[in-house]
Amino acid sequence: MAVQEPIGDLARKWLQQDHDQVTRKEIQDFLASNDEVELEKRLRKRIAFGTAGLRSSMKAGFAHMNALTVLQTSQGLATYVLDQHIPSSLAVGERLSIVVGYDARHNSEKFARLAAGAFVAQGLTVLWFGQLVHTPMVPFAVNRYKAAAGVMITASHNPKADNGYKVYWSNGCQIIPPHDKGIATAIDQVEVISNWDETTVDSSPLVQRIFPDATDAYYSCLRRLVPPPHKAQTASFTYTPMHGVGLPFMKQAADMLGFRGDCMHVVLDQAQPDPEFPTVPFPNPEEKGALNLAFAEADKHGCTIVLANDPDADRFAVAEKLENGKWHQFTGNQMGVLLASYIFETYPHDRSKLAMLASTVSSRMLASMAETEGFHFKETLTGFKWLGNEAKSLQALGYDAVYAYEEAIGYMFAGVVWDKDGIAAAAVFLTAWQRWQTQGLTPWQKLQQLYKTYGYFEDANTYLISPSPDVTEQVFTSIRAGSLPTTIGKRRILRWRDLTVGYDTADTDGKPDLPVDSTAQMITCELGDVVFTARGSGTEPKIKLYIEATASSSAEAKQRADEVLQDLLREWFRPEYGLRLAGT
């Protein structure tokens, strides 16, 4: 067993490398007060680089997001990118390029500038937006300019103390294995930072500013996805960017679709970028109460539709005021099938070549639609890194993989970008909404129509806050201990798929139909009328539960899903583990 390096030595190693005075002082103060507990938390384990890149709170130390870890990551990424490309494949004088974007969070521009400087120091061209963008602009620009990679500085809808470093590969999709491990290895080998200058992007000839051209091209793609109408719209809706970057992008998309003047009512208290997120504890449209201000604004103007983006505008949420006067916020699954129905109904080509995708934790309703209507459906692992890459693979096989979605309010339209895009989703929804209005339907009524056609699907999705990663691992180890469970409550387990250990009872050889990852906890069980997945979150201290039931009515499906949730809380996720159910 290797002897651990003394924590004092790790602290001195940090101080030798870190040039940021704020984070240097944090470590110096802990060293001076001999606070070994805090130093261990900050320095012992490096922030993990995975398929989501980096995401953590902003503090000093190798375990967090800060200038030093951003620079180490950037130098490692640059080295890996250069190693993956054969110099002879480049034309004379041609350089590899990396797209760099950032949102409005604390330190986002600073981290982006440092990353860009690190890429320039390695001889790479930086394609630089130079102003706030929504996350999908980075993968869009990777494709448009045939860049080798892209980096977006964002923590999406995480709390204000967090930030992140999201990496896209040359195909415009989020990285998947083996790139994540290759980049992580290259990061570990970085010993000396070559460039700490935040102003490199302002003067280097290797930096190209792309915002005007890239955004013009983006909206050209949006116009192809949802052609503008011949006349101005008269319906109105309320919109909130949740203190993020979405407003200017949403304004232009709405204007393009004929929603001008008073058609779009913006929640003013949440309209401008604000890294403090002062009106919401969690800047996520899915969180309880996050849309309350939007509902109030909508009521003031007599709007029955509310649209929302998360702070980096890659996610999209919708709510409708029903005839009973209550607001219904569509779940990610409900909006997912609503948008899918519009794509299918307006698809102009051979529908047998049409392909749509959803992740394994999303509703089975899209699969039911595909079986009934004859288009191709593909299930993937959780996350748009898998949805985007798998859609590309289907495209190579001759399918037209136009759409993918995930229950966490993420929707991908391949004609624009190979990742989730909250602005493109809003544009498609607004167009579909106008179509449904001509049919005498509201979005809610259209959803009921779909249920009658394809069956009622209801979920009981939630999450448990875990005291620590060790507890999460202990819980899943306990579930697998001894003989595997054969029942959940009164229901028999008809299929057991464990993507952590690599076991699936659906196949005679026991091999799962999806990739296995021993570092990520994930178990799926099929119980006949109910399917559920339990998994550990890769970015938050949570155990996420995705439970969906189908039945001949909405109420019956919801009851079945709720029953299984209670069975799981009683049998698998017991109180003695110290887990806390969301909202309690």
Catalytic residues: 156
DSSP code string of 186-231: HHHT--S-S---TTHHHH-TTEEE-HHHHHHHHHHHHHHHSPPPSS
With beta carbons less than 8 A apart as the criterion, state whether 149 and 167 touch. yes
Ordered strands of the 305-309 beta sheet: 264-266, 237-240, 305-309, 316-321, 327-329
> How far from each other are the two terminal CA atoms of the chain, in whole angstroms?
42
Q: Cα–Cα distance between 160 and 526 in angstroms, integer?
A: 38
The identity of residue 197, as a single letter, is D
> Sign of the C-alpha dihedral, residues 377, 381, 386, 389?
negative
> Sign of the C-alpha dihedral, residues 197, 199, 205, 210?
positive
Exposed/middle/buried for 474, CB within 10 Å: 0-12, 13-18, 19+? middle
Q: What residues does 54 pair with on adjacent strands?
A: 165
Please state at what angle helix 211-225 crosses helix 422-438, rounded to 10 degrees. 30
Helix (H) or strand (E) holding 113: helix 108-121
With beta carbons less than 8 A apart as the criterion, state whether 150 and 170 touch. no
Q: CB-based contacts of 572: which residues, under 8 Å, 6+ apart?
A: 475, 479, 534
How many CA within 13 A on the CB side of residue 154? 28
Q: CB-based contacts of 541: which residues, under 8 Å, 6+ apart?
A: 465, 466, 467, 468, 469, 472
